[in-house]
Amino acid sequence: MLRVLGLRLLLSVPLLLFVTALTFFLVSLTPGDPAVVILGQNRAPEEYQRLREQLGLLDPVPVQYARWLGTLTQGSLGVSIFNNEPVVAKLGARLGVTLSLVTLTALVASVVGVALGIASALRQGALARAVDVLSLLGIVLPNFWVALVLVAVFAVRLRWFPAIGYVQPSTSTGGWLRSLALPVVVLAGPAIGLIAQQTRNAMLDVLDRPFIRTLRAGGVPPASLIYRHALRNAGIPIITVVGLVFIALLGGTIIAENVFALPGLGGLAVEATSRHDLPVIQGIVLYFTVIVVVVNLVIDVIYAWLNPRVRVT
């Protein structure tokens, strides 16, 4: 297993190179010039050219990317074009916010989604249809609209939760949970329906297998039959969709962090893109890609734990 995980880590290096190179070239094609943003419209041509030369923007794009790779091999991601702040420090101050939001959302969506999926598989009928409706609503309703409705009801009118802002868990655990409550609900809604549907389908497939009927005829208690045997055998497709949800939530943080003014990587990505701050954009893409790689490795480990006969190749 360790050899396989080591091979997966080795294969992730070309993925990181491909994603960062693609991002670098795509950003270079987008409209915008950081020199113009820094100097403004009323700029002297000589000053403009001098600043572009200082920022290395006069070099061909492949040369700029090679220079960025050089800084990466030295353990650095460069500095922000606008304030010369090290990108590693800039992202490190915001990484915890994004990871807190994504992890808490994935946890809530997994627990609620799996519970609803199991219940709808056992009872079906109206509960199964409710899961389908919940999944459809999660897909149809825009996240930003749901966020605005939740803010208007629970933050402005009822004042149960703050409308904007983030509280560090080291400052107040309760305040941290309250500051993330509404963003988590916004992001977890679509994920709950998706996980519930996958759990129901996987459970129905396992519950219809001969070994489950044999165990039931042998007098195995219902709770043990469902949670120890059926759920474990249905775990691989459920874990797969949970992993996909976790990865998809990284993109969802962009909307949530901007609506709720959370100081995370998603909001920083929007700011850096609007200002054409390429080192910051590259750093965020690298961080997100590494998170995706780690999530996939964790899923492989869980696969092997759920079913030792599964050989990860």
Cα–Cα distance measured from residue 287 to residue 87, given in angstroms and rounded to the nearest whole number: 11
Which pLDDT score, from 0 to 100, does residue 124 have?
72
Instruction: Give the contacts of 196 (CB within 8 A, at least 6 positions apart).
Output: 112, 113, 114, 116, 117, 120, 131, 134, 135
Predicted model pTM = 0.85
Count of CB atoms situated within 10 Å of the CB of 26: 10
Find out if CATH 1.10.3720.10 is the number for domain 87-306.
yes
CB 260 within 8 A of CB 252: no
**Mean pLDDT in each 10-residue stretch from start to end of the chain (313 residues)?**
71 86 85 77 78 81 88 86 88 92 94 89 77 76 84 90 89 91 91 88 88 83 84 87 91 86 89 86 91 88 73 51
Alpha-carbon radius of gyration of the chain:
24
| Residue of 232, 265, 251 lying closest to 190 (CA atoms) | 251
| Residue of 311, 309, 312, 303 lying closest to 235 (CA atoms) | 303
Per-domain boundaries in the chain: 32-75, 87-306
**Distances from the Cα of 195 to the Cα of 4, 116, 243, 306, angstroms:** 28, 9, 10, 18
